[in-house]
């Protein structure tokens, strides 16, 4: 249960990647399918712009999934708090080895 948030964050990131990948594949395939349908029907005129689909919303949803997953994953890792804790340990070690006294009065 401890790693449940990390697992869901990674799944959310993968969901965003899958959404963007499938949208891009469909965006590339649909004009070719339209051309094939036009050739088999042999009617009217073919323009690729008639078969262009706007996937802007899909790209936004995929990006939001990826960013949301990354934010949740980074907050779960506590890397900022870990870095501050490490700096405090190093400062304490420096103070002990060099006999630094920060309690003296300022003049």
Among positive and negative, which fits the CA dihedral 48, 50, 51, 56?
positive
Would you kindly state where each structural domain of the chain is located, as residue ranges? 4-97
**pLDDT value at residue 11:** 94
**pLDDT value at residue 63:** 96
Per-residue model confidence as pLDDT tens for the chain (107 residues): 667 888 899 999 999 999 999 999 999 898 888 888 777 777 667 777 777 888 999 999 999 999 999 998 888 777 767 778 888 888 887 777 766 666 665 55
SS3 102: coil
């Amino acid at each position: 249960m401890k790693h449940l948030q990390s697992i869901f964050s990674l799944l959310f990131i993968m969901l965003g990647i899958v959404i963007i990948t499938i949208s891009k594949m469909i965006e590339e395939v649909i004009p070719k399918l339209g051309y094939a349908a036009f050739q088999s029907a042999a009617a009217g005129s073919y323009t690729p712009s008639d078969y262009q689909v706007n996937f802007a919303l899909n790209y936004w949803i995929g990006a939001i999934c990826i960013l949301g997953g990354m934010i949740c994953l980074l907050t779960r890792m506590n890397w900022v708090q870990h870095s501050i804790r490490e700096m405090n340990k190093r400062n304490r070690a420096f103070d002990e080895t060099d006999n630094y006294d920060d309690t003296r009065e300022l003049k």
